[in-house]
Amino acid sequence: MKNLISIQSHVSHGYVGGRAATFPLQTLGWDVDNINTVNFSNHTGYGQVKGAAIDANQLNQLFQGLINIQILGSYNAAITGYIPNDELIQAITKYVKMLKQNSDLLYLLDPVMGDQGFLYVNESCIQQYKSLITENIVDIITPNQFELELLCDFKINNKSDLINGINCLSNIKYVIITSLYDNLNLFPNEKDLLYVAFRENNQIKLFKIPVIKSYFTGVGDLFSALLIDKIYSNASLPNCLEISINQALTIMSNVLQLTHKLGMEAYCNAHNLPLTYDSSLIQSQINDADTMRFFELKLIQSKPFFEYPGPGVFKCYNLP
- pLDDT tens digit sequence for 65-84: 999 999 988 999 999 999 99
What is the band of 286 on the pLDDT scale with cuts at 50, 70, 90? Answer: low
Measuring CA to CA, how many Å separate 154 from each of 76, 93, 294? 35, 25, 38
Residue 280's domain comprises: 2-318
Q: How far apart are CA 237 and CA 103, in angstroms?
A: 21
What is the band of 285 on the pLDDT scale with cuts at 50, 70, 90? Answer: low
* Mean pLDDT calculated for residue range 157-161: 92
What is the band of 287 on the pLDDT scale with cuts at 50, 70, 90? Answer: low
- So what's the pLDDT on residue 139? 97
* Mean pLDDT calculated for residue range 224-248: 97
Give the burial string for 253-284 (b: 16+ CB within 10 Å, else e): bbbbebbbebbbeebbeeeeeeeeeebeebee
H-assigned helices in 105-201: 124-133, 145-152, 159-167
- pLDDT tens digit sequence for 194-205: 899 999 988 999
- Tell me which of 149 and 319 has the higher pLDDT: 149
Task: Check: CB of residue 21 under 8 Å from CB of residue 11.
Answer: no
* Mean pLDDT calculated for residue range 129-134: 97
Mean pLDDT computed over every residue of the chain:
93
- So what's the pLDDT on residue 284? 60
What is the band of 290 on the pLDDT scale with cuts at 50, 70, 90? Answer: confident
Element (H, E) at 222: helix 219-234
156-165, 203-212, 276-285: the lowest-pLDDT one: 276-285
- pLDDT tens digit sequence for 86-105: 999 999 999 999 999 878 99
- So what's the pLDDT on residue 183? 73
18-27, 159-168, 264-273: the lowest-pLDDT one: 264-273
- pLDDT tens digit sequence for 213-230: 888 899 999 999 999 999
* Mean pLDDT calculated for residue range 26-55: 95
**What is the chain's length?**
320
- So what's the pLDDT on residue 306? 98
Beta strands in the chain (DSSP E): 2-11, 30-40, 51-53, 77-80, 106-109, 114-115, 118-119, 140-141, 174-180, 193-200, 203-210, 316-318
Strands 118-119 and 114-115: antiparallel
- How many CB atoms neighbour CB 233 within 10 A? 16
3-state secondary structure of 41: coil
pTM: 0.95
CATH no. for residue 172?
3.40.1190.20
- So what's the pLDDT on residue 87? 97
Residue 281: name the closest of 212, 193, 214 by CA: 214
Q: Is 184 exposed, middle or buried (0-12, 13-18, 19+ CB in 10 A)?
A: middle
Give the burial string for 157-175 (b: 16+ CB within 10 Å, else e): eeeebbeebbebbeebbbb
Number of domains, the chain: 1
